[in-house]
């Protein structure tokens, strides 16, 4: 695993190693590599904008942001974002993390599919949403030099069919809970079934 790209590195703490292992065991390559790219995109955006953010909190939020789509949550009727936020909160409560920081991660994960609002919140919240948009739809890609885009995607590859595959992953993760997807960009995905 590449741990450092253009000055941004994956935190090397006991907690970061634990979250990496937990998510690696829970998610396949598609979601795991996506989550890791989301962290790098978000952190690179934060550096470019000269924002002060906690890389460990951003990394944890990025790792948990799509866990609610996995098989373990296929019976849940909560929005997948809330399942991920709750899982992140439960994980963080096992470490000496301040309640306000746990709340930042919870909010970042819960709002990562919400447009326009996260950018006005704490940097960790805004950067998770912006990193996710960069990875899924390429929003803001023109702000990344080609060397950065190539380095991130070489370290954590996505297939040529990534957009179709991620839409299918969203569909599988939310089709059993259509009421929880209503009003988000995910409500169109439920209709695919």
Judged against a pLDDT cut of 90, whether residue 171 lies above it is answered with: no
pLDDT digits (tens, 9 = 90+) for 110-122: 999 998 899 999 9
Confidence at residue 170, expressed as pLDDT on a 0 to 100 scale? 87
What are the DSSP calls for the chain, one per residue?
---EETTEE---SHHHHHHHHHHHHHS-HHHHHHHHHHHHHHHHHHHHTT----HHHHHHHHHHTTGGGSGGGTT--S-HHHHHHHHHHHHHTTTT--HHHHHHHHHHHHTTT--SSGGGS-HHHHHHHHHHHHHHH-TTGGGS-HHHHHHHHHHS---TTHHHHHHHHHHHHHTT-HHHHTTSTTHHHHTT-
The model carries a pTM of 0.92
Q: Using pLDDT thresholds of 50, 70 and 90, give the confidence band for residue 193.
A: very low
Write down all domains in the chain, each with its CATH number in brackets: 4-161 (1.10.3210.10)
Confidence at residue 91, expressed as pLDDT on a 0 to 100 scale? 98
Confidence at residue 182, expressed as pLDDT on a 0 to 100 scale? 56
């Amino acid at each position: 695993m590449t741990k450092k790209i253009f000055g941004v590195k994956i935190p090397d703490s006991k907690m970061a190693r634990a979250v990496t292992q937990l998510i690696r065991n829970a998610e396949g390559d598609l979601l795991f590599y996506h989550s890791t790219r989301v962290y790098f995109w978000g952190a690179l955006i934060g550096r470019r904008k000269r924002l002060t953010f906690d890389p460990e909190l951003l990394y944890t939020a990025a790792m948990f942001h799509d866990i609610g789509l996995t098989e373990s949550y296929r019976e849940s009727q909560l929005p997948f974002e809330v399942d991920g936020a709750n899982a992140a909160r439960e994980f963080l409560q096992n470490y000496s993390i301040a309640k306000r920081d746990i709340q930042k991660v919870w909010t970042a994960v819960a709002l990562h599919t919400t447009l326009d609002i996260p950018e006005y919140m704490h940097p960790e919240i805004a950067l998770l949403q912006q990193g996710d948009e960069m990875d899924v739809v390429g929003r803001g890609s023109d702000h990344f030099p080609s060397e950065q885009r190539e380095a991130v995607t070489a370290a954590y590859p996505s297939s040529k069919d990534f957009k179709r595959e991620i839409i299918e992953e969203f569909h599988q993760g939310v089709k059993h809970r259509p009421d929880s997807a209503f009003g988000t960009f995910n409500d169109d995905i439920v209709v695919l079934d």
